[in-house]
């Protein structure tokens, strides 16, 4: 377990989160989940952390498609 990114209230990690994919908002390339999730209490939202290989950058994103799965993963510990 790494440290929680600045601005987030909780974090979780699971191999299941590595199966998630999302289009990079910067370059459009498909990004892979890193396995980490971050929770923002203010919005009751779980952000999935992705890694863009093109920019070599870690990008946390929220999507309605991944919210439920992220909640399940976090509940599993």
Instruction: Tell me which residues touch Zn ion (CB under 5 A).
Output: 24, 26-27, 52, 54-55
In angstroms, give the least distance from the CB of 1 to Zn ion.
Answer: 26
Q: Which is nearer to Zn ion, 55 or 65 (CB)?
A: 55
Count, residues in the chain: 77
Q: How far is the CB of 20 from Zn ion (least distance, A)?
A: 15
Pick from 43, 64, 47: nearest CA to 11: 47
Nearer to Zn ion, 9 or 29 (CB): 29
The beta-strand segments (E) located in the chain are 10-13, 21-23, 30-40, 45-52, 57-61
């Amino acid at each position: 377990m790494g440290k929680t990114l600045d601005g987030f209230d909780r974090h979780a990690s699971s191999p299941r989160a590595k199966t998630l994919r999302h289009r990079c908002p910067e370059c459009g390339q498909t990004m892979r989940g890193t396995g980490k999730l971050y929770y923002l209490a203010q919005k009751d939202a779980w952000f999935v952390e992705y890694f863009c290989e093109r920019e070599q950058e870690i990008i946390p994103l929220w999507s309605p498609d991944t919210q439920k799965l992220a909640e399940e993963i976090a509940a599993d510990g």
